[in-house]
Amino acid sequence: RRNGIIKKAREISILCESHVSVVIFSSSGKMSEYCSPSTTLPKILERYQTNSGEKLWDAKHESLSVEIERIKKENDNMQIELRHLKGEDLNSLYPKELIPIEEALQIRLTSVREKQMEIW
Q: What CATH number did the domain enclosing 28 receive? A: 3.40.1810.10
pLDDT at 71 (0 to 100): 95
Domain match, 17 and 41 both: yes
Percent of the chain clearing pLDDT 70 (strictly above): 98
pLDDT at 110 (0 to 100): 94
pLDDT at 86 (0 to 100): 83
The CA distance from 4 to 34, in Å, is 12
Domain match, 45 and 65 both: no
pLDDT at 59 (0 to 100): 64
Give the chain's residues under pLDDT 70: 59-60
The CA distance from 55 to 20, in Å, is 20
> Using CB atoms within 10 A of its CB, is residue 36 exposed (0-12), middle (13-18) or buried (19+)?
buried
Domain match, 115 and 61 both: yes
Domains identified in the chain, total number:
2
Domain match, 8 and 22 both: yes
Domain match, 68 and 19 both: no
pLDDT at 64 (0 to 100): 83
Structure pTM?
0.43
> Using CB atoms within 10 A of its CB, is residue 41 exposed (0-12), middle (13-18) or buried (19+)?
middle
Domain match, 71 and 45 both: no
Q: Which range of residues forms the domain containing residue 42? A: 1-56
**Residues β-bridged to residue 25:** 31
pLDDT at 12 (0 to 100): 92
Rounded to the nearest 10 degrees, the angle between the axes of helix 95-119 and helix 59-85 is 70
Domain match, 44 and 62 both: no
